[in-house]
Amino acid sequence: MSDNTEAAARLRIQEGFSHIFPANTMEAWVTDMGQEYLSLEFRFHVSMCGSLGIGGHLLRWSEAQRAEAARWIALYKEIRPIIQFGDLYRLRSPQTHAFSAVQYVSKDRSEGFSLLSVRICPFRPTCRPFTCAARSRKPL
């Protein structure tokens, strides 16, 4: 796969990986790489597209960041079967568009989860991601 853990770059890396391998074989780590310009929320969203792992220095995270991480981990545990064992639909590529979108649907088609991510612009580090869950039909 890659040792690049910066979430904006991983959007493209993960897309390529997903053409050959299923999500449950993709280790996707939330790290501190890019924390100066990428929100913890965005780093979790990108990593939730595979087998979520935490590689950040947790002792350096604030109490609020650890609480936010706990919420994302709880959500991931809920949707993990859909992500890891469902079907992936690439709705919009981060290779060629300003935003990317992927959707995971359970094998029985009863549940789904979608991620919409605004690509981080290298010259405008204030760009922010937006992600939504189709399952709840509400923004996260």
Structure confidence by residue, pLDDT tens digits, 8-25 = 888 889 999 999 999 999
Q: Buried b vs exposed e over 17-52: b needs ≥16 C-beta within 10 Å? A: bbeeeebeebebbbbbbbbeebebbbbbbbbbbbbb
Structure confidence by residue, pLDDT tens digits, 43-91 = 999 999 999 999 999 999 999 999 999 999 999 999 999 999 999 999 9
- For tokens 């706990």, what's the residue? 70
Structure confidence by residue, pLDDT tens digits, 55-68 = 999 999 999 999 99
The pTM assigned to this predicted structure is 0.81
What mean pLDDT is predicted for residues 124-135?
A: 38
Cβ neighbours of residue 25 under 8 Å, at least 6 residues apart? 50, 51
Structure confidence by residue, pLDDT tens digits, 92-125 = 898 888 778 899 999 999 998 888 776 554 433 3
